[in-house]
């Protein structure tokens, strides 16, 4: 007996034998048993996924002598004739070679004759999208109102080329690509029946080369069986098919994570000498790094690209100490080079340069790690301030401990750097502030730590600006008189002294009139006195002119920019990100 290839020898004869198309076989089986089978059925999908096979099984189901039923007997005359391809009432037509209008007219004319010995006359047209426009037009009428004894089963790999008038007359079922694990299990079962010794890695490589097609996988398996004189290994498959062994993918990703340029060049050179197509090879590398990223972020195995079950643990182990951000950065660089490699006249060199650029990336630091580093730096600067601060004197026995005055901001930088007991990086405020001599003089309390009413006195924190203190005063004032606090929110301090403050309003005349009342003045003076711990007299000035206001804002903006550039957190961020300051924007206070 002549040799039959595996795809023909083990072609499914029942719906239960079809691999990974249960959504179609279940629907068609139910349609047959319930008597609701459509007169025109379109099966679409990639090559080798079982379209024509399903059409043949469906033809046996409706024409079986013991049927119609969901499972053909495969023993009657009709079933055996369909299996052998000699059935008088089932016509298999290749649409690519019978695409003329004359061929369809012949089908249309013969369809009116009754079947020879079967319940139905069935036309199976493969690659139906190859028919000409005239042929489709000739098919329209009989497809819309066919004789009761006629069924049309169409198969196509490109349903988009079929006219909508034909599609609307058919019941469509889409075949899916067969998952890699299903292909491997099916091939392993057939190898066991045939007594073929083949490794799981070899089956995985064959299944991956099939790209979701059972027929392609069995054709490649036939090739390996005939070319091997013993057990079939992954190396043998790689030599015969030119496929990429999985170990090379893991070796490449390990070299990239280790930033080993020499190993990367060696792997690419070895695969190039083996005859690998560079564009296809690079696509495999992209898919591998994508799988690594999916595993790292906790994706389910179902969304992995062509990965067998025994490879998932290897993927997890490789990215155990690699951040998802770093993998994503590598993928971003490689993806940008994909088009260049596919179009380059020197794809091997282009691929080498792409991976060299990928390993030059510094390992990415996660956001949590950055926040932790900045917090550590901030705590370090704060600890330096507290360690170098002057100890409290014996008279500071009040509930609130007083702190020494901050060093004036206009002090000579050189002197500041060499002064013993001072931190290297003082923590300046980001608030708007006036001259530091005036601030210290105005904020130095002269009384005790408790006001006459028995309430604790607020003591200014080191580095706190006058603008920040004024904001806190107004916040406290809002508890007693919210309207007055809102009125003073339009003001700022322009003059300070030991026992007095001078306030100027921006442009609103109503606010200065309201604040000038005796009751309003008493309330603001009380709030300032409670805050600073001594009696404060508050004087009100008129509204500021536009030019003066602009000058004052410019001075404050320059001061804020100077503080920002020297702030330790800014310096730490520049160092961590290896960046530079491009622009400083002053945010307007609410």
Give the residue from 63, 71, 91 showing the smallest Cα distance to 29: 71
The predicted pLDDT at position 46 comes to 93
The predicted pLDDT at position 364 comes to 58
Output the CA angle 248-249-250, nearest 5 degrees.
Answer: 90
Q: Topology of 246-359 in CATH?
A: Zinc Finger, Delta Prime; domain 3 (1.20.272)
Structure tokens at 322: 């690699």
Looking at per-residue confidence, does 534 or 23 come out higher?
Answer: 23
Residue 432 has pLDDT above 50, yes or no: no
Residue 424 has pLDDT above 90, yes or no: no
- In percent, how much of the chain has pLDDT > 70? 75
Output the CA angle 44-49-52, nearest 5 degrees.
Answer: 65
Altogether, the residues listed in the chain come to a count of: 590
The predicted pLDDT at position 470 comes to 80
Q: Which residue has the tokens 């009380």?
A: 526
The CATH architecture annotation of domain 365-391+398-590 reads: 2-Layer Sandwich (3.30)
**Cα–Cα distance, 472 to 296 (Å, whole number):** 47
Q: List beta partners, residue 503.
A: 493, 540
For residues 127 and 96, the answer to whether their CB atoms sit within 8 Å is yes
Please report, for the chain, the start and end positions of each structural domain, with discontinuous segments joined by +. 6-174, 180-241, 246-359, 365-391+398-590
Q: Which residue has the tokens 């924190």?
A: 461
Q: Topology of 180-241 in CATH?
A: Helicase, Ruva Protein; domain 3 (1.10.8)
- Cis check: omega of the bond before 334, within 30 degrees of 0: no
Structure tokens at 469: 């203190």
The pLDDT tens digits of the residues spanning 266-286 come to: 999 988 888 888 888 898 899
Name the band, by pLDDT with cuts 50, 70 and 90, for residue 473: confident
Q: How far apart, in Å, are the Cα atoms of 38 and each of 91, 126, 429?
A: 18, 18, 79
The predicted pLDDT at position 505 comes to 75
Structure tokens at 371: 């926040």
Residue 319 has pLDDT above 70, yes or no: yes
Residue 411 has pLDDT above 50, yes or no: no
DSSP 3-state of 2 = coil
Residue 482 has pLDDT above 50, yes or no: yes
Q: Which of 44-48, 181-185, 470-474, 496-500 has the lowest mean pLDDT?
A: 496-500
DSSP 3-state of 459 = coil
Number of H helices, E strands in the chain: 27, 8
Please list the alpha-helical segments (H only) found in 211-245: 214-227, 234-241
Reduced to 3 DSSP states, what percent helix, strand and coil does the chain have, rounded to the nearest 5? 55, 10, 40
The predicted pLDDT at position 316 comes to 87
Phi-psi domain of 127 (left: phi exceeds 0; alpha: psi -120 through 50; beta: other) = left
Max Cα–Cα distance, the chain, nearest Å: 120
The bridge status of strand 500-505 relative to strand 491-496 is antiparallel
Q: Which of 74-78, 265-269, 317-321, 475-479 has the lowest mean pLDDT?
A: 475-479
For residues 484 and 523, the answer to whether their CB atoms sit within 8 Å is yes
Mean pLDDT (the chain) is 79
For residues 115 and 145, the answer to whether their CB atoms sit within 8 Å is no
Q: How many CA atoms lie within 13 A of 215 on its CB side?
A: 11
Name the band, by pLDDT with cuts 50, 70 and 90, for residue 237: confident
Q: How far apart, in Å, are the Cα atoms of 575 and each of 179, 316, 319, 377, 569?
A: 48, 32, 27, 12, 10
Please tell me the class of the 6-174 domain: alpha beta
Collect all residues with Cβ–Cβ distance below 8 Å to 22 and sequence separation of at least 6.
none
Q: How many CA atoms lie within 13 A of 454 on its CB side?
A: 0
Structure tokens at 495: 């003059």
């Amino acid at each position: 007996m002549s040799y039959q290839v595996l795809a023909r020898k083990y072609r499914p004869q029942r719906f239960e034998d079809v691999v990974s198309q249960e959504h179609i076989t279940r629907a068609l089986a139910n349609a047959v048993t319930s008597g609701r089978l459509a007169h025109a059925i379109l099966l679409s999908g990639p090559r080798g996924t079982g379209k024509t096979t399903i059409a043949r099984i469906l033809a046996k189901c409706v024409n079986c002598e013991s049927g119609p039923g969901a499972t053909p007997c495969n023993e009657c005359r009709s079933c055996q004739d369909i299996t052998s391809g000699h059935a008088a009432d089932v016509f298999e037509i290749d649409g690519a070679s019978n695409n003329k209008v004359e061929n369809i007219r012949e089908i249309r004319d013969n369809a009116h004759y009754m079947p020879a010995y079967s319940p139905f006359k069935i036309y199976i047209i493969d690659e139906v999208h190859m028919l000409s426009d005239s042929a489709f037009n000739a098919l329209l009428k009989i497809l819309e109102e066919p004789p009761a004894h006629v069924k049309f089963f169409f198969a196509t790999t490109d349903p988009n080329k079929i006219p909508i008038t034909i599609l609307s007359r058919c019941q469509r079922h889409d075949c899916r690509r067969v998952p890699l694990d299903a292909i491997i299990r099916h091939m392993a079962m057939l190898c066991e029946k045939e007594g073929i010794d083949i490794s799981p890695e070899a089956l995985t490589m064959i299944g991956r080369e099939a790209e979701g097609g059972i027929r392609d996988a069995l054709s490649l398996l036939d090739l390996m069986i005939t070319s091997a004189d013993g057990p079939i290994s992954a190396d043998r498959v790689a030599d015969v098919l030119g496929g990429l062994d999985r170990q090379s993918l893991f070796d490449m990703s390990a070299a990239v994570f280790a930033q080993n340029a020499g190993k990367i060049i060696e792997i690419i050179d070895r695969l190039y000498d083996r005859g690998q197509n560079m564009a296809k090879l690079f696509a495999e590398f992209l898919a591998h790094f994508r799988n690594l990223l999916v595993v790292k972020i906790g994706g389910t195995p179902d969304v992995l690209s062509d990965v067998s079950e025994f490879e998932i643990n290897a993927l997890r182990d490789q990215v155990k100490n690699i951040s998802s951000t770093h993998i994503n950065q590598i993928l971003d660089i490689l993806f940008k080079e994909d088009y260049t490699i596919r179009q380059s006249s020197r794809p091997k060199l282009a691929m080498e340069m792409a991976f060299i650029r990928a390993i030059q990336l510094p390992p990415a630091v996660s956001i949590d790690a950055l926040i932790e580093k900045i917090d550590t730096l901030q705590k370090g600067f704060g600890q330096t301030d507290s360690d170098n601060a002057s100890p409290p004197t014996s008279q500071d026995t009040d509930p609130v401990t007083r702190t020494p005055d901050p060093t004036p901001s206009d002090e000579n930088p050189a002197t500041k750097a060499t002064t013993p007991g001072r931190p290297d990086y003082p923590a300046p405020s980001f608030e708007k502030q006036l001259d530091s001599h005036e601030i210290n003089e105005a904020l130095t309390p002269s009384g005790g730590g408790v006001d006459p009413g028995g309430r604790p006195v607020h003591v200014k924190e080191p580095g706190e600006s006058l603008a920040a203190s004024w904001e806190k005063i107004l916040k406290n004032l809002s508890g007693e008189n919210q309207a007055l606090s809102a009125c003073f929110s339009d003001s700022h301090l322009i003059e300070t002294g030991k026992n007095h403050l001078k306030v100027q309003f921006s442009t609103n005349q109503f606010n200065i009139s309201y604040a000038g009342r005796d009751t309003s003045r008493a309330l603001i003076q009380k709030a300032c006195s409670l805050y600073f711990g001594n009696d404060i007299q508050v004087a009100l000035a008129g509204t500021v002119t536009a030019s003066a206001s602009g000058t004052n804002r410019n001075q404050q903006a320059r001061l804020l920019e100077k503080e920002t550039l020297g702030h330790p957190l800014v310096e730490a961020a520049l160092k961590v990100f290896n960046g530079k300051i491009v622009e400083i924007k002053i945010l307007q206070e609410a």
